[in-house]
């Protein structure tokens, strides 16, 4: 069992499935409402745990019933919540998600308690856990993620650089592996006119310790890791809801690397996890189990 610390967001997802995602100023009727546990950090923690890793979550929730429910859910999935803080200054993070009939989504987030995490407490927790790997994203303040990575200089540090905006203040030089989608890769390329995924992966890899993975949805992925370029097609899937699919990839990819699997196998496991997650509604409920991931990952692609 690998030991992974996930530093990131814990959210309640309020999801409305609609025929199409509304345009600005438009109201779309005939929606179906559901509530799920979410947040990129919590999703990735659950994904890694369900894939067989020993996982600790570092984050914060508010003093409300949503926080209670989310903590119980993480524990039920085998995630250690010892280092999740309860803060009185903000409500538990909430995401409002519209999902259309094709499985595409549009998300608005109220960060709440996720932006009240103390970087010093996170650094102390990392020192206590001594993880093999640390996963971070950008749904918590960058100084929190920086503190976590700085406290784990000898572990594998994986950053899902999502969401990307002009205020990114994480030094990719202290990151071992960056994971981005194609849009985020182009945003991070600092004005480059080259939108070729291979070129983007190589360019961003040069700014990290080990490399970069660019996920391409239904087109698969491109990775440039440890000086080698790897192009993998996607596994076929029936897309129901893409919410959490990228988080499934990050959690399972990191868990596989931390368990000693090769880069190629870890990428394949991550791809399989993302495909399985996209075929199921919700974020955390869609995170697949190790046996299902293994079965799909060992399937030959056409």
Question: Which are the catalytic amino acids?
Answer: 247
Contacts of 103 (CB under 8 A, 6+ apart): 239, 240, 241, 242, 278
Measured CA to CA, the distance from residue 195 to residue 179 in angstroms comes to: 16
Rounded CA separation 129/92 (Å): 24
DSSP string, 217-273: GGG-EEEEETTEEEEEPPPP---S--TTHHHHHHHHHHHHHHTT--HHHHHHHHHHH
**Cα dihedral 132, 135, 140, 144 sign:** positive
Provide the CB-side half-sphere exposure for 168 (13 A, CA).
18
From the number of C-beta atoms within 10 Å of its C-beta (0-12, 13-18, 19+), residue 42 rates as buried
Distance separating alpha carbons of residues 31 and 227, to the nearest angstrom: 47
3-7 and 93-99 strand pairing: unpaired
């Amino acid at each position: 069992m690998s030991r992974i610390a996930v530093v990131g967001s814990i959210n309640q997802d309020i999801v409305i499935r609609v025929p199409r995602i509304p345009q600005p100023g438009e109201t779309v009727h005939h929606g179906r409402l559901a509530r799920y546990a979410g947040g990129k950090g919590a999703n990735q923690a659950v994904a890694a745990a369900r894939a067989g890793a020993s996982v600790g979550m570092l984050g914060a929730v508010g003093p409300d019933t949503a926080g209670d429910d989310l903590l119980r859910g993480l524990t039920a999935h085998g995630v250690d919540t010892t280092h999740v803080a309860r803060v009185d200054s903000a409500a538990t993070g909430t995401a409002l998600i519209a999902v259309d009939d094709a499985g595409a989504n549009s998300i608005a987030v109220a960060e709440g308690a996720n932006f009240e995490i103390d970087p010093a407490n996170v650094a102390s927790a990392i020192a206590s856990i001594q993880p093999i790997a640390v996963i971070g994203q950008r749904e918590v303040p960058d100084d929190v993620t920086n503190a976590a990575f700085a406290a784990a200089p000898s572990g594998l540090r994986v950053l899902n650089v999502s969401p990307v905006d002009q205020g990114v203040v994480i030094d990719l030089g202290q990151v071992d592996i960056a994971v981005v989608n194609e849009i985020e890769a182009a945003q991070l390329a600092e004005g480059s006119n080259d939108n070729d995924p291979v070129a983007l992966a190589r360019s961003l890899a040069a700014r990290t310790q080990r490399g970069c993975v660019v996920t391409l949805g239904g087109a698969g992925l491109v990775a440039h890791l440890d000086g080698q370029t790897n192009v993998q097609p996607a596994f076929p899937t029936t897309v129901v809801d893409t919410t959490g699919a990228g988080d499934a990839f990050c959690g399972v990819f990191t868990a596989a690397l931390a368990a000693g699997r090769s880069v190629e196998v870890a990428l394949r496991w991550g791809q399989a996890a993302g495909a399985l997650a996209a075929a199921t509604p919700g974020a955390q409920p869609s995170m697949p189990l190790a046996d299902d991931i293994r079965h799909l990952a060992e399937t030959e692609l056409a």
